[in-house]
Amino acid sequence: MSAVDWGEVKDCLSNPLRRAAMLKLAEDISDGNAPGEDADGPMLVIARQLAHSRTAVRQIAGPHKVGIVFAMWRERARIGKLSKENPNGEDCINDKLQSLSWLFEGTSIDWHLYAVDDDCPEHSHDAARASVQHNDLRKRLSILELGKGWPFATLPLSRLTDLSHSTKGGAIAYGLGAAINDGCDFVCYTDCDNSVHVGELGNLLIGAMGDNPAAFGDIIPNVRTTFINPQRSDTAPAGRLLSHLRKLLMGFESPTNFMGAPFKLFRSSYLKSSLERTEVFDFSFDQWLVLGVTADGYMATPTAFSFLDSYEASTWHLVSSYNVEFQKTNGLIGTLRGLNLPHDPLIAAAFERLVRSPEDIERLYAARPARQMVEGRQRTGDPNLMSKADIIAYLDEVLA
């Protein structure tokens, strides 16, 4: 694989000419005018996924209605257009509308987009309305506000006792419920920004047309489709350790290699009951829905998808990566218990004893890194990388 040109990644996220060229390139690929198979730059990676997606939707016998949901919190910059004054602008809502129109044009699949403000202090909903005021596709967009619906009388959001307890999960749940109530047969959720190209939705849809009630965007080993910025904290040794711990914590094979992938689709007839049992609305919200599929005795279809890390304007910087890692790991323990799924009690007990807050995660990142996480080349989740006993001993050493 060639080295990543992060300038090209940024351009593919925000340059409207480059975004339009991706769709044209996808059409060329569909027509048999494909570049060499060894080419793996971000634009070609996305275009191949788009071409496959557009072919897939034309193989689906309809009619069907699909809802696409995303949360908004501190997203004014990425909702806006790229400019000298707004270097992180992605015009992401208009891009989604255009991409979905391109994907489903000429098919029997109807679609609707749900943008949900997660009690954003910057009023992202106002920015969303302003951004689409001249878009003829805006009738296919509903802009919702979690705060206007709260408090809720029905599950799962009746469990949201305070709006501050939602870290996008409450907004996603609100949007999923709205899509189900509007009669959508399938519902997908993704991120607000352009990190995932929604034109790839056909690849998820075809994966949920069989026996599996869900399809998840996933990392496929030895195939480059994701471009994760190396500055992200979860690529550091402590981040690898926590990822490894979470995978060993589960007493079964995860239904996905990318639990937090912001591209998941469910059949609505299944999602309605699964959503109702969700207990939390922070960064572990994903885990309830993903592992719920396993708890219910089903499988999800793993689906390759492209992911361009919109790192500079990521809300991780505002929430803090220590909060995110704490919520994901502590939340996974609660999810496994809540769904009565097998898990390792020793790892769970050690984490709960030693890691009681995001501040402890910060201490873990500041500590001498575990040798295995620096030198080891095995994938996280491989017991040969670092054993459960060694993980617990290391946590005791640096945190006790």
Predicted confidence (pLDDT) per residue in 42-55, tens digit: 999 999 999 999 99
Strand 186-190, strand 263-267: pairing: antiparallel
Both tokens assigned to 362: 């910060």
**Quick one: DSSP state of residue 315?**
T
Nearest to 257 by CA among 188, 304, 321: 304
Predicted confidence (pLDDT) per residue in 273-297, tens digit: 999 999 999 999 999 999 999 999 9
- pLDDT of 230: 79
- pLDDT of 233: 66
What is the pLDDT confidence band of residue 36, given thresholds at 50, 70 and 90? low
- pLDDT of 40: 65
Q: Is the pLDDT of residue 34 over 90?
A: no
Q: Is the pLDDT of residue 249 over 60?
A: yes
For residue 196, what are the contacts with CB-CB under 8 A and spacing of at least 6? 190, 217, 262, 263, 305, 306, 307
**23-37, 103-117, 328-342, range with the lowest pLDDT:** 23-37
Q: Is the pLDDT of residue 37 over 60?
A: no
306, 45 Cβ separation under 8 angstroms: yes
Query: How far is the C-alpha of 144 from the C-alpha of 114, rounded, in Å?
Result: 7
Predicted confidence (pLDDT) per residue in 77-92, tens digit: 999 999 999 999 999 9
Instruction: Give the ranges where 58-191 is alpha helix by DSSP (H).
Output: 76-79, 92-104, 124-131, 146-149, 169-181
335, 290 Cβ separation under 8 angstroms: no
Q: Where does residue 370 rank: exposed (0-12), middle (13-18), buried (19+ CB within 10 A)?
A: buried
Is the pTM higher than 0.85? yes
Query: How far is the C-alpha of 320 from the C-alpha of 83, rounded, in Å?
Result: 27
260, 328 Cβ separation under 8 angstroms: yes
- pLDDT of 316: 78
- pLDDT of 243: 94
137, 97 Cβ separation under 8 angstroms: yes
- pLDDT of 39: 58
- pLDDT of 144: 98
Q: Which domains does the chain have, with CATH numbers?
A: 6-220+257-312 (3.90.550.10), 232-251+320-400 (no CATH)
CA-atom Rg of the chain in angstroms: 21
Average pLDDT over residues 310-327: 88
Average pLDDT over residues 22-35: 89
Report percent pLDDT > 70 for the chain: 98
- pLDDT of 1: 55
Q: Where does residue 149 rank: exposed (0-12), middle (13-18), buried (19+ CB within 10 A)?
A: middle
Average pLDDT over residues 173-182: 98
What is the pLDDT confidence band of residue 173, given thresholds at 50, 70 and 90? very high
- pLDDT of 261: 94
What is the pLDDT confidence band of residue 376, given thresholds at 50, 70 and 90? confident
Q: Amino acid letter at 72? A: M
What is the pLDDT confidence band of residue 378, given thresholds at 50, 70 and 90? confident
The overall average pLDDT reported for the chain is 94
Query: How far is the C-alpha of 51 from the C-alpha of 304, rounded, in Å?
Result: 13
For residue 239, what are the contacts with CB-CB under 8 A and spacing of at least 6? 232, 233, 321, 325, 365
